Amino acid sequence: VEEENEIQEQMNLLNARWESLRVESMDRQSYLHDALMELQKNQLQELSDWLTVIEENIQKLESQCLVEDLETFQQQMDEHKELQKGIEAEQVKVNSLTHMVVIVDENSGESATVLLEDQLQRLGERWTAVCRWTEEQWLKLEEINTLWQELLEEQCMLKAWLVEKEEALSRIQTCNFKDQTELGANVRKLSSLKEDMGKKRQMLEQLNEMAQDLAQLLNNKKALKKIDSNLEELTQRWDNLVQKLEDYSNQVTEAIVKVGMPQISENVLTKTILVKKQKTAQDIQMEQSPPPLPRRRQIGLDTEMRKKLDVEIAELLNGILKSKAAIQAIEIKEFKKMRETSGMKEKLKAIKKERVEKEKTLNELKQTGENLLDQMGKEGLPTEEIGNALKRLLAEWKGAACYLEEVARKVQYQHEINIYFSELGKLDKSVSEKEAWLQDNSAIEDQPLAVLQELCQGKLTNLLSLTPQMEHLKIKCKELTSHPAAPDFVEDSFCSLNSHFSSAQQELELFLQKLKRELESHPPKTYLDSLKKIKDELNELESKVHSIMNSVNDLNQVEKALQQTKMVCETLENQKVMVDKLVADTQVLEKHISVEKSKLYKQELKCLQGYRDKLKLKISKDVHLLEETVSKLRTFEADSKVVQRWLDSVKDFLMKDQIKQAEPEGLQRQLDQC
């Protein structure tokens, strides 16, 4: 019955513990459920708030017109890039929400689940709309930027061409010709200029078309007005050049009629086609007799070579201007701590490769121009125009090369800044980890002093191992700051890291010294272990001796007890070495700890020694007692055996002579024998 009651009681205890564990588990599950549900609500609300802010920004951007100049427009593109980066950063949270398990309160029913799923769907639609608008807007901005840059480049080239032709036209002579050669040269110049203008007319029309396309995309009246103003200025200069060319042609025609010179070759004096808003001017005709045939062939050859040279120079100049525009798009206006440079390097590499390919064309063109200049000089023809064109081409080529090298140096310098700040960031992170360890009181307080000292020494050693890297960064900092346009943050960042490093080193060294002092003020673990071991052994020996003395009943047990007691005594003697070492350690310890603690440990050692001496004295007495007991017991046992043998012999004697009991003399004799 008692066993059944005990089993029943144990079962009741187990059931009670099981029920308590089940209730606690259910409460924990409910708490986690509520916490996860609250977390989901917060995440959804944060995403909704973020989308609201982005949608408001999009509405503002849609209501605003695009900017009126290219530089501000590129700033707007940079702002759009920042918006894209923000969306990419938020994409991580959105991805986590797409894999979210819908959790609602069980008491809310299915309606809460439906509401949460509807909320997720609406957020997904809003997110998709924001991403779609951002992508479409970026494509639109890229298209505008490309078209705008191309328009500005074409305008710049046309302006340069107009300046060149205006200068060339101003150098053409229209009267007072010395001879037929001088007249022929000026006629060739007019003819070449007219043909060039006929070719460039298409370029002006293309500029108008590009301006119209850009105006439609920009939808900005100020920008449209500015673009129209630039085109109107170009058109006006074009018309003025056409009018001037027509006037010069008429003056040359009149001069030919007045002096009555022979007819110039049809290859030299062609029909003058003046392109002025699609109107044709009057033709210049020469009715004089033609010059000799060899002269006509040479003039035609010079004209063809010059036309070809002009076309090739114009094409190469156009390529140089485009490469300059591409270099300008790469150019770094302001250095930053971290900036992506791999794309810039790839573009620069492509531009350099293109220049290497065009350098052969430049050399051939230069050689052709020099040959043509020599030939024209021998014939007495003017060479200034071609010479100036070649000089300008070479100057533009050299200027583009210098510009390319300058931008490449800036990109390389930014790349070195990137490496510098990458290494600096790693070092700063490592130093911050050491400081964080020092400031983490919970991790420090839970550790023993010896373990803390070892950890602190390891942290300090690791920190000091970073010194070569600090020296390398110092040298790198000097190299970077020697750059003429070195930003201030290069040196400031290193000074901040150096101060951070020195502070962390000082704090670790001070903490390590503090730990050493604390360890020196406390007995070492070996000392405490030895003290405890001796105490435990003495207690064990005392208990053993007490047990031995209480179990003595006969000679065998006394002899066994004697042997065991002697072994205990021998153990005490062997313990003397450990006690002597403990005494020596205590004397050394007195020099490092306070007087109060020294007295405490000396008193504890004195008590231990007194306890050991008392135990040793007691055991010695027990050994002496046991030895005496053994000796007496052995004597008693020997005497007992003698008496017992005598009693046995008396008994045998009495049994044998019972028949003689009637004889008194026999009895007396037997009694005497006894």
Q: What is the mean pLDDT of residues 621-637?
A: 82
- State the Cα torsion 625-627-632-634 to the nearest 10°: 150
Residue 571 lies in a domain: yes
Residue 605 lies in a domain: yes
Per the structure, the count of domains in the chain is: 3
- Residue 400: pLDDT over 60: yes
Q: pLDDT tier at 107 (50, 70, 90 boundaries)?
A: low
Encode pLDDT of 48-63 as tens digits.
888 888 888 888 777 7
More confident residue, 273 or 645: 645
- Residue 20: pLDDT over 60: yes
- Residue 233: pLDDT over 80: yes
Are residue 551 and residue 499 in the same domain, yes or no?
no
3-state secondary structure 429-489: HHHHHHHHHHHCHHHHHCCCHHHHHHHHHHHHHHHHCCHHHHHHHHHHHHHHHCCCCCCHH
Predicted confidence at residue 274, as pLDDT, reads 35
Are residue 610 and residue 648 in the same domain, yes or no?
yes
Encode pLDDT of 401-456 as tens digits.
888 898 898 888 889 999 988 999 999 999 988 888 888 766 666 666 667 888 88
Report angle CA 599, 604, 609 to the nearest 5 degrees.
125
Amino acid at position 323, single letter: S
Residue 623 lies in a domain: yes
Q: pLDDT tier at 261 (50, 70, 90 boundaries)?
A: very low
Q: What is the mean pLDDT of residues 215-242?
A: 79
Q: What is the mean pLDDT of residues 333-338?
A: 84
Encode pLDDT of 278-300 as tens digits.
333 333 333 332 333 333 334 44
Mean predicted lDDT score pLDDT of the chain: 76
Q: Is the dihedral of CA 128, 134, 137, 143 positive or negative?
A: negative
Among 87, 119, 144, the domain-final residue is: 144
Q: What is the mean pLDDT of residues 513-534?
A: 74
**Read out DSSP for 118-162?**
HHHHHHHHHHHHHHHHHHHHHHHHHHHHHHHHHHHHHHHHHHHHH
CA distance 269 to 153: 34
Predicted confidence at residue 125, as pLDDT, reads 83
3-state secondary structure 479-520: HHHCCCCCCHHHHHHHHHHHHHHHHHHHHHHHHHHHHHHHHH
- Residue 661: pLDDT over 60: no
- Residue 269: pLDDT over 60: no
Residue 307 lies in a domain: no
Query: Residue 648 belongs to what domain range?
Result: 525-656
Residue 210 lies in a domain: no
More confident residue, 215 or 26: 26
Tell me how crowded residue 59 is: count the other CB atoms within 10 A of its CB: 10
104's enclosing H/E stretch is none
Is residue 334 within 8 Å of residue 417, measured between CB atoms? no
Give one word for 311, left, alpha or beta, with left for phi > 0 and alpha for psi -120 to 50: alpha
Are residue 542 and residue 496 in the same domain, yes or no?
no
Q: pLDDT tier at 276 (50, 70, 90 boundaries)?
A: very low
Predicted confidence at residue 68, as pLDDT, reads 61
Residue 196 lies in a domain: no
Instruction: Decide: helix, strand or coil at residue 643.
Output: helix
Among 144, 177, 211, the domain-final residue is: 144
Report angle CA 320, 325, 329 to the nearest 5 degrees.
145
Are residue 571 and residue 462 in the same domain, yes or no?
no
Determine which of 252-266, 469-483, 543-557 has the lowest per-residue pLDDT on average.
252-266
Q: pLDDT tier at 161 (50, 70, 90 boundaries)?
A: confident
Q: pLDDT tier at 386 (50, 70, 90 boundaries)?
A: confident
- Residue 301: pLDDT over 70: no
CA distance 118 to 122: 6
Percentage of residues in the chain having pLDDT higher than 90: 1
Encode pLDDT of 470-498 as tens digits.
899 999 998 888 888 888 888 888 899 89
- Residue 264: pLDDT over 50: no
CATH number of the domain where residue 503 is located? 1.20.58.60
Are residue 624 and residue 535 in the same domain, yes or no?
yes
Q: Quote the tokens at residue 332.
A: 């770094």
Are residue 588 and residue 627 in the same domain, yes or no?
yes
- Residue 103: pLDDT over 80: no
Are residue 97 and residue 11 in the same domain, yes or no?
yes
DSSP character for 74?
H
Residue 268 lies in a domain: no
Are residue 510 and residue 387 in the same domain, yes or no?
yes
- Residue 329: pLDDT over 60: yes
Are residue 529 and residue 633 in the same domain, yes or no?
yes
Are residue 395 and residue 510 in the same domain, yes or no?
yes
CA distance 376 to 181: 12
Predicted confidence at residue 267, as pLDDT, reads 37
| Residue located via tokens 């050049």 | 241
Q: What is the mean pLDDT of residues 629-651?
A: 80
Are residue 80 and residue 10 in the same domain, yes or no?
yes
Are residue 497 and residue 550 in the same domain, yes or no?
no
Among 126, 144, 162, the domain-final residue is: 144
| Residue located via tokens 């003290």 | 531
Q: What is the mean pLDDT of residues 191-201?
A: 79
Residue 392 lies in a domain: yes
